[in-house]
A and B are shown apart, each in its own frame.
Chain A
Amino acid sequence: MQLNKVGIGLIAFFGLAGAAFAIVPILIGAPGEVAGILASIGVIWVLVAAGLLWYARRQERKAAHNDWIFQTGIRGTATVLYAGSHAEVNEMPLMSLRLDLEVPGMATREVKRREVMPAFAAARMQPGLTLPVYVNPKDGDDFILVW
Chain B
Amino acid sequence: MPDVGPAYEELAAARRLEALPGFATGPLTPLLVEAGGASLQPALRGRFDEGVEGVVGQLAYKRNKTFRFHVALTEVPAATAFAPRVFCIRRGRSTRDDEFYGFEARHSKLWTESTALNERYAVSTSPYQDPMWLRQLFSPSFVDWLGTKPPADFSFELAYGALLGSVEDDDPGADGLAALCEATAHVAARVREECEE
Q: Which residues of A contact B (CB under 8 A)?
A: 1-4, 6-11, 52, 55-56, 59, 63, 66-67, 70, 90-92, 115-121, 123-124, 131-132, 134, 144, 146-147
On whether the beta carbons of B26 and A4 are closer than 8 Å, the reply is: no
* Residues of the A chain whose Cβ atoms lie less than 8 Å from the Cβ of B28: 120, 123
Number of interface residues of B (CB under 8 A): 24
> CA–CA, A105 to B161, complex, Å?
31
A4-B103 contact given A120-B159, A134-B128, A146-B128, CB 8 Å threshold: yes
* Across the A-B interface, the 5 shortest Cβ-Cβ residue pairs: A7-B102, A90-B101, A124-B160, A146-B128, A2-B106
Given known contacts A117-B107, A118-B30, A119-B33, is B128 in contact with A70 (CB within 8 Å)?
yes
Q: Is the CB of B105 within 8 A of A117?
A: yes
Residue in A1, A118, A146 whose beta carbon sits within 8 Å of that of B103 in the complex: A1
Q: Which residues in chain B, 97-131, are within 8 Å of chain A measured between CB atoms? A: 99-107, 126-129
Given A117-B107, A121-B159, A146-B128, A6 and B100 contact (CB-CB distance below 8 Å) = yes
Q: How far is the CB of B62 from chain A (nearest CB, A)?
A: 16
Interface residues of B in 138-196 (CB under 8 A from A): 159-160
Count of inter-chain pairs, beta carbons less than 8 A: 82
Contact with A along B73-88 (1 / 0, CB 8 A): 0000000000011000
B22 interface hit (Cβ, 8 Å): no
Are A147's CB and B102's CB within 8 A?
no
| Pair B32/A120 contact, Cβ less than 8 Å | yes
**A–B complex contacts, Cβ < 8 Å, 10 sampled:** A4-B102, A7-B103, A10-B102, A11-B102, A56-B103, A66-B127, A117-B105, A118-B30, A120-B28, A121-B160
Whether the pair B102, A52 counts as a contact (CB closer than 8 A) is yes
With A120-B159, A146-B84, A147-B126 as known contacts, state yes or no: A63 contacts B30, CB within 8 Å: no
**What distance in Å separates the Cβ of B63 from its nearest Cβ neighbour in chain A?**
12
Q: Does B39 contact A (CB under 8 A)?
A: no
Contact A120 B105 (CB under 8 A): no
Nearest CB in chain B: distance from A49 CB, A: 11
CA distance A9 to B102 in the complex (A): 8
Our pick among B29, B99, B107 for the contact of A6 (Cβ within 8 Å) is B99
A18 → chain B closest CB, angstroms: 16
Q: Which residues of A contact B101 (CB under 8 A)?
A: 4, 6-7, 90-91
Smallest CB-CB separation from B104: which chain A residue? A4
Report how far A2 CA is from B128 CA in the complex, Å. Answer: 15
Knowing A120-B27, A123-B28 touch, does A63 contact B102 (C-beta < 8 A)?
no
Contact yes or no, B103 A120, CB < 8 A: no
Q: Does A118 contact B128, Cβ atoms closer than 8 Å?
A: no
How far in angstroms is the closest Cβ of chain A from B51?
A: 24
Cα distance A130–B12 when bound, in Å? Answer: 38
Q: A117-B105, A119-B33, A121-B160 are in contact. List 12 more A-B contacts (CB 8 A).
A: A3-B102, A6-B100, A6-B102, A7-B102, A8-B102, A52-B102, A55-B103, A66-B128, A92-B105, A120-B28, A120-B160, A123-B28
Taking the nearest CB of chain B, how far is it from the CB of A5, in angstroms? 8
